[in-house]
Structure 1
Amino acid sequence: MEDKCARRPRRYGNLLFALPLLCIFVCPVATDITDVPKFGQPINNVTVPVAREATLACVVEDLATYKVAWLRVDTQTILTIATHVITKNHRIGVTHSDHRTWYLQIRDVRESDRGWYMCQINTDPMKSQVGYLEVVATSVEGPVFNITRVNRLHMGAYLCIASNGVPPTVSKRIMLIVHFPPMIWVQNQLVGAHEGQQMTLECNSEAYPKSINYWTRDKGDIIAQGGRYEPVLLDNAYKVHMKLTIRSVGPTDFGPYKCVSKNSLGDTDGSIKLYRIPQPSTQYRTTSTTEASVLPEKEKKQRSRQKEPEAAEEDASNEIMDLSDPEKITKERDLKLRGRPHDNALELPVAEGPTSSGESHLPLTLLIWSTSLWLSKVHVPPILNLPP
């Protein structure tokens, strides 16, 4: 059986471009691209009987200060914003679980509630995804089970059980297959990336019989696997999750892309535009080879300048002393010991400023001891043999 509702996504697909006009709630500005929220998973389509309660779930990651709104696509009506119900329909409610999963609840479902519902995040550009609510009027009369207006959502296994109260009961499994043309929806139709970044584009397709799915560029060229592109298809019954990974985005990769789905009943496609965003501002310090070669020369000059005073001190220590005056010899040696900042044999502490009474004689004692030690190493003629 062919699904008469299968062509609805193409009919409502053009409305996705007009719905941003309904975003009347204020959009906060993100300071970093990593702060932008994203959908955790697609909205599951729901089928409920008349007079029951229907619940549509929208999973949002990293919501932060952004807000989630529910809209009715068919009538372009805003139903809820955050935790507030905007519509006057008393059967509509909204709840959430830790600001991550947002539930749209419709009580006492009617056939007029059948259609597409959109979950929207007030980012810039706006992010949205849709889910379909199917309302069925079922009746069971003995061994007959009637399904009115059958569509792809009714596809699956049904179990007929017969019992008269006497065991055992018997059952029969009946598989219902619905043929319908491909349907595609895109979560994010506008995606930003900077050069060198790895980016993944995603589409969701449904079709039966099984469809042929592929990616194309704006001129219709099919994107084959290899090089920087990696298309992946994840099948789940009549549903296909299409992914196109660009390993390193280059200047020629920006522009529109299309995810295409075809089977024997028809074909459809979805569009995604990849736009350029500025590179992250990171400053790197570069060192040229010229600086590296000049630096050792400067260090050599500084080291040679530091060695000059030491050489001068060594030359001064080799001067010939006048030994005719003992007092002059002692004073000159005392001055040299005080004036040398570094002695290869011994470093002496020099007291600066006033000291306490207990420490006042310590530098003098060290000085006399070091002088006697130094004199013992130098051969000096006895003073007693000096002329009077």
Structure 2
Amino acid sequence: MSSMIGRSILLLFFSPISTSTFMAMLDPENPVDRTPRFTSVLSNVSAPTERDVMFTCNVVNLGTFNVGWVEADTKAIQAIGDQLITHNPRVSVSGDMKTTFNLHISSISREDAGQYMCQINTDPMLFQSAWLHVQVPPDIDMSRTSGDLVTREHDDTARFTCRAQGIPTPEIRWKREGGLRIRTRKDGTQRMVDEVEGYSLEIHRVRREDMGAYLCIASNDVPPAVSKRIYLHVQFPPSILPGLSLMGSSTGRDVTLECIVESYPAAFIVWSIEEKILHGEEADYSVHERGLTMYRLSSKLIIHNYSDRHSGTYRCQGTNSLGSADSTIRVYTTERREPKYEIVLEKEFTPDIIQDNQSEQFLLPEWKSFSDPTQNPEKVKPVDKTRTNMNQRSQPSHSLFSSQPSSSASNSFFLLFIVIHIMQ
């Protein structure tokens, strides 16, 4: 036991401690032990606008000293102890006011951002500081962002610019409305992509397929992300898609002629026949238009109860401020023919043996009568080749037509004629 005590004394004696600490160990009431100090680090705070934030300052041995909160940038005192000094109604304090002191700022704004200090009014003063980072959602800067663009096809390059403000600095990306792909060029090679990053976007030598709405989307991980819709207009003269150039119809029917025109601005479409303009208000005609895409328009001319007097060459012409285009469709009258097949039974007879100078015997094949081979194919009896063998010899006869039929030709036969009627 004595050896252990001696070892402890030696260990205590040779430990590297300061004199004040040693005196405090001997005398707990020594005022050196009562010096105020911080027990934790004041931490930075980041939050988006309109959120509530709190700084916490932990101290010990405060004694008769006070803890105060100061906004470092403006040197404005926010609070001392539990007493508010600032007139800002969004600032408040809490804690036990002995070891824990909290500074609250509700519904923060960008103006609240900056450095805040927790101070102990000792001499010299003790303090800690931390930063309030106010995160600001992105906001499109309209003054530095492109509006709608108007370009000429194959001649112009469309250049979009989009700028946004926010904390942290927002990132910009581009997309097309409706999920369409963006045509870009990089290192001299054109490609189609779903989105493009960066504050600017260029489309070289614009085409009609590039026309539409483009979205500038700004985000910085602080919701919500925002977007600006920019419309690209691509102007070009009318062109008419290939279609029928010739159409035949029987009388009494409705005939529809269609003309599909691509243009921007939208073309004015006119139908005519033999220099006579058709407005679609005539008794025999009607016109219907329908937009297929942002630059493609379908116009249909319907001829009601078609007759010979409606035949001729119809012209579709589309015109806008950049030019015009036309196409023609010739309509002619056809007769409506539907073939009908009949098998007609001519007569029933019993043929004699027919001999030629070579004494060859010819026998007609046996058929069964039926009305329509397409409806009753199973009733057709195939030719019996054994009965039509031309090498079969007949017995000599004294006349060309024998008065009595041969036994080999004693059966009755039907002579059938297939008559094709063309029904109108």
Scaled by the length of structure 1, the TM-score of the pair is 0.37
**Greater share of helix residues, 1 or 2?**
1
Larger Rg: 2
TM-score where L is the length of structure 2: 0.34
Report which structure shows greater RCO (CA 8 Å, sep ≥6): 1
